Amino acid sequence: MQARGIHHLGVAVDDLDAALSTYERLFGAQVEHRATVEGQGVRAVSLRIGDGRVELLEPLGADTPVGRFLAKRGPGMHHVAFDVSDLPAALAELSGAGADLIDEAPREGLFGLEVAFIHPDSVHGVLAEVVSSE
Ligand code: CO
């Protein structure tokens, strides 16, 4: 499977507003989208930094995927999202290559994107997301 690039880095934070102002102040980040997604248990902001993008994720509660991540590992890098042209085809290729898919089929991610996650055990400890941006 050939990824087109890195779509974004996902970062787990305790305080979304504080993290947002840090990224604005230190790196000139600009807000692209904001959303509270009850179904995924997060408040999230998508930031553009030049050609790159960072997604800040604050859990809505302790008993959410990001809440459990924070409790276990503290704030920091949560996932890397790879941009692919055809998400179903990418998932089939990843599965064929032996990757352990958390999502067998595309699902709705943040900001209206179709996404799927790959288990960190298949990617040397890094939770990977695949996204089709078009
Ligand atoms: Co993401």
Residue 101: the pLDDT is 98
CA of 25 to the centre of ligand 1 (A): 22
CA of 91 to the centre of ligand 1 (A): 16
How far apart (Å, rounded) are the C-alpha atoms in residues 61 and 68? Answer: 9
CA of 81 to the centre of ligand 1 (A): 6
How many CB atoms neighbour CB 73 within 10 A? 11
pLDDT class for 21, splitting at 50, 70, 90? very high
Residues near 42 by beta carbon (within 8 Å), at least 6 away in sequence: 36, 57, 58, 59, 60, 64, 66, 110
The fold of 5-132 is: 2,3-Dihydroxybiphenyl 1,2-Dioxygenase; domain 1 (3.10.180)
Residue 134: the pLDDT is 72
- Burial classification of residue 29, based on how many CB atoms lie within 10 Å of its CB (0-12 exposed, 13-18 middle, 19 or more buried): buried
CA of 84 to the centre of ligand 1 (A): 13
Residue 112: the pLDDT is 86
How far apart (Å, rounded) are the C-alpha atoms in residues 6 and 71? Answer: 27
